[in-house]
Structure 1
Amino acid sequence: MANVAVINYGPLNDYAAMLPELVDGLHVLSHNDLANTADFALYEYVPDCEFVPYPELKIRQLARERRFTHLITDNEYDLERAARIREDLGIPGQSSASALSFRDKVVMKEVAQRAVATPRFARLQAINDLTDFIAENAYPVVVKPVKQGGSRDIVVLRDENELVEFSRRHWRDDLMVEGYVEGDIYHVDAVLADDYRFVASSRYLRNCLGVLSGQNNGSLQLHPQDKLAKRLEEFLDTTLGAFDTPSTGAYHLEVFHTPEDELVLCEIASRVGGSRIPALTRATYGLDLLTTWLRLSCGLPVDPPPSAPPAELHGSVAIVPQGRPVRAPDSPPFEWVRHYQVNKQLAPGATPQNSTSNLCFAIVRGADTQEVERRLLEVEDWLLAHLRERPSHEGPNP
């Protein structure tokens, strides 16, 4: 019998539906309370699961009585401890060294620069490390935590005044600095195994950091036969060639495309892309990234990756929180809007906290990338024009 340990984050993940062959062998410890868990071998809702050591302790205690054949997680912040447990318990999968290389952005770039172009970078121990880097490389520079995600706590310093303002913040012991790279940002999302390969490329509608200053964000897919899409896929393969990778892996790669037509690594993660990326992939390719990755990781069969060119492409745009109480409009009146959703958990007057922060978002379809982009900008204009002020005493969006 297969016994599978699961450290879960996603609030809507349905493991009974994703892994029905293994349901009575699933031991799930979850950051969010899940539905459809009655048939699991074990299920515990663990508040603050990703921040407390209890899940690791519990899995090790359970392993005294049963052998775990697999250990899986959907959460980037659990990759390192999942790898550590695997190594100690003799469970196949990603190693600790591999997990660290995809989590620590300094280690990541030290590894990646053997194969691809990266920005100049340095780990920061003290403020003089930052000033030395600026003296050598000039402004602008980007300062960020080495293990954070979603553009959280990232600061762009463009001049001495911004450096002084940054110096008034509490110093952190987990910072790095890198040179600012001009250009569009693309993302490549892949699930790779010995006998399986799915790769899809997209462009962010705007720089992800723009969300923190009030810019709306989103992404739009490239056709797989697009010349740049093929270059990005080759860039993924070249990048991964420098890393220790498990036999089955999911990857979310972000790449700068500079005005000089150079591809430069931004970051790469060994997990499924977040935000609306899985929904866009399902809409265009009929493929669920997380389900495919987890089933392959557990040795279960999956449908072959799509081979025919997609009939249409998709993109998404998210309206960021406005910093004032506003009501999101009803669904836009365009037949090409495939999905529209209002963030009902958003507090009135909220401000953007990370690259996924949104008041509402729309997914649109189109014949090609250009049409998708035109439609994203049109629906964005419509949504912004139909935001309505509302009393601050009201709760989240109805």
Structure 2
Amino acid sequence: MTHVAVINYGPRHDYAAMLPELADRLHVFSHHRLTGTAALASYEYVEDCESVPYPELRIRGLARDTGLAHVITDNEYDLERAARIRADLGLPGQSPASALSFRDKAVMKETARRTVPTAPFRRLADITDLTGFIAEQGYPVVVKPVKQGGSRDISVLHDDDALLAFSRRPWRDDLMAEGFVEGPMYHVDAVVAPGYRFVAASRYLRSCLGVFSGHNNGSVQLHPVRDPFARRLEEFLDRVLEAFETPATAAYHLEVFHTPDDELVLCEIASRVGGDRIPALTRLTYGVDLHTAWLRQSVGLPAAPPPSAPPAAVHGSVSILPQGRPVAAPERPPFPWVRHYETNENLAAGAVAQNSTSYLCFAIVEGADAAQVEQRLLETEAWLMDRVRDTEVPAP
């Protein structure tokens, strides 16, 4: 029988619904507590799942006891672990070398610059590597961990005072520096498999780093036909992938700078589905569930074909950040083009943004093209911000 091991991150994934043909042979180890797990062969919530070796040990036991045909994960931080297990067990899928090239941002840029422009970069062993890079490139400079995500732990150094402040923090041995690139950032989200290709392009409403200075963030989809820049971004994705060892079936989340002199410059590429509201926006516009399309084909099951006709409308999202003080999220905006509104019921009172996906509430809007979507997002954002209300912290 074909058994499949899954290291899950998505808090709402229903694997029995995504992979019904294999439900009674699925063994799921999850970062989050899932519902709808009764039909699975086995399921475990694993505390600190991505940090402890328990899932790997259990998966190797399953391979010995039941046999395994596939090991899959939806989590960027587990891509290398899953690849290592597959290589050891002789299973198909992304190799350890491929996983590393999409995870380690220094290796990624070294690989990608064979076919596309990247910002100047340097892996940092100590502070003198950083000061030497600044002497060569000038300010501003971006410093970040090579394997972090969600804009976590990123610093932008604009001058010597910022460098001195940065030097007061404990040094990490996983840092790199890169030159700051001016211009808006776009993202391209894709699933590619034998006989299957889906690609969608979008623009971030604002810089993902803006959350750490209090700027709300979001994303605006480009219409694949009405906006010719979408095709240019798709072609850039293909050029990037030419430099990499790629698995037969993969999902990709590519981030690209568009500079003032009209150059496209790679920021990063990951071999997984984009986070935040990207999967929801893609379902609304194209009817494509990125996770389902990726994971079904990764275990040899067919996926519904991507749409052949262009969408009638596109979508965008705006997330209102935690305010750093106890507040109540507003009610749903009254605009007819708001397709979805959600508040964060698990947000602690007085929370601040921890990463680029942090939110107090978010809205998804619909429009004919990117310009209309952006205008509606800004109107929705203004309406929501005007109605964020301070609230009292409940007495202990």
Structure 1 and Structure 2 fold alike (TM over 0.5): yes
Q: Specify the alignment match of 2:292 in structure 1.
A: 291
> Cα deviations across residues 178-233 of structure 1 (Å, max 9, x unaligned)?
00000000000000011100000000000000011100000000011222111100
Q: Which SS does the other structure have where 1:64 is aligned?
A: helix
Q: Secondary structure at the match of 2:197?
A: strand
Question: Secondary structure of 2:362's match?
Answer: strand
- 1:6-21 correspondence to structure 2 within 5 Å: 6-21=6-21
Rounded Cα–Cα distance in structure 2 between residues aligned with 1:351 and 1:31 = 23
Report the residue type matching 1:87 in the other structure.
A
Supply the distance in 2 between the matched residues of 1:394 and 1:136 (Cα, whole angstroms). Answer: 55
User: How far is the alpha carbon of 1:392 from its aligned partner?
Assistant: 2.4
| Structure 2 Cα separation of the partners of residues 139 and 373 of structure 1 | 31
Cα distance in 1 for partners of 2:393, 2:256 equals 40
- Identity %, equivalent residues: 71
Which ranges of 4 or more aligned residues in structure 1 deviate by more than 6 Å? none
- Quote how far apart the aligned CAs of 1:394 are: 6.9
Specify the SS of the correspondent of 2:27: strand
Query: What residue identity is the alignment partner of 2:134?
Result: I
Instruction: Note the C-alpha offset of 1:33.
Output: 1.4
Cα offsets for 1:58-85 (capped at 9, x unmatched)? 1111111222111110100000000000
Distance 2:361 2:187 in 1: 22
Q: Which residue of 1 aligns with 2:104?
A: 104
2: distance between equivalents of 1:31 and 1:381?
35
Partner of 2:252: 251
Deviations 1:246-302 (A, max 9, x none): 000000000000111100000000000000000000000011000010001111111
2:39 and 2:374 map into 1 onto residues whose CA distance is: 44
Question: In the alignment, does 2:165 pair up with 1:165?
Answer: yes
SS at match of 2:64: coil
* Paired position in structure 1 for 2:271: 270
Q: More deviation in 29-38 or 267-276?
A: 29-38
Question: Is residue 329–residue 387 contact of structure 1 (8 Å, CA) maintained in 2?
Answer: yes
Pair 1:128 & 2:128 matched: yes
TM-score norm. by structure 2 comes to 0.99
For residues 278-337 of structure 1, give each alpha carbon's deviation from its aligned partner in whole angstroms, at most 9, with x where no partner exists.
Answer: 000000001100001000111111111111010001000000111111111100010100
How far apart are the structure 1 equivalents of 2:61 and 2:135? 52
TM-score by length of 1: 0.98
AA matched with 2:26: L
Partner of 2:234: 233
Asked if the contact 1:348/1:394 (under 8 Å) is kept, the reply is no
- The one-letter amino acid paired with 1:295 is R
> Counterpart in 2 of 1:360?
361
257-266 or 26-35, which deviates more: 26-35
Query: Which residue of the partner structure matches residue 378 of structure 2?
Result: 377
2:141 maps to 141
Corresponding letter in the other structure for 2:307: P
Provide the secondary structure at the position in 2 that maps to 1:44.
strand
In 2, Cα distance between equivalents of 1:140 and 1:293: 38
1:389 aligns with 2:390: yes
Tell me the C-alpha RMSD between the 2 structures. 0.9
Residue by residue, what CA displacement relative to the aligned partner does 1:9-48 show, whole Å, maximum 9, x if unpaired?
Answer: 1111100000000001101111111111112222111111
Alpha-carbon distance in 2 for matches of 1:67, 1:94: 19
For residues 325 and 41 of structure 1, what CA distance do their matches in structure 2 show?
A: 43
C-alpha distance in structure 2 between counterparts of 1:52 and 1:98, whole Å: 23
| 1-structure distance, mates of 2:8, 2:368 | 36
Match of 1:217, as an amino acid? Answer: N
Task: For residue 393 of structure 1, report the CA deviation from its aligned partner.
Answer: 2.8
Counterpart-to-counterpart distance in 2, 1:255 and 1:175: 21
One-letter amino acid of the structure 1 residue matched with residue 341 of structure 2 = Y
The letter for the 1-side match of 2:328 is R
Amino acid at match of 2:2: A
Which segment is superposed worse, 346-355 or 248-257?
Answer: 346-355
Separation (CA, whole Å) in 2 of partners of 1:203 and 1:18 = 29
Question: What is the aligned length?
Answer: 395
| SS of 2:102 mapped into structure 1 | helix
List alignment gaps of at least 5 residues for structure 1: none
Q: Is the 8 A contact 1:325 1:349 kept in 2?
A: yes
AA aligned opposite 1:293: W
The CA distance in 1 between the partners of 2:395 and 2:210, in whole Å, is 28
Q: 3-state DSSP class of the match of 1:63? A: helix
Match of 1:86 in 2: 86
Q: How is 1:182-261 mapped onto 2 (pairs within 5 angstroms)?
A: 182-225=182-225, 226-261=227-262
Using the alignment, how far apart are the partners of 2:51 and 2:346 within structure 1? 22
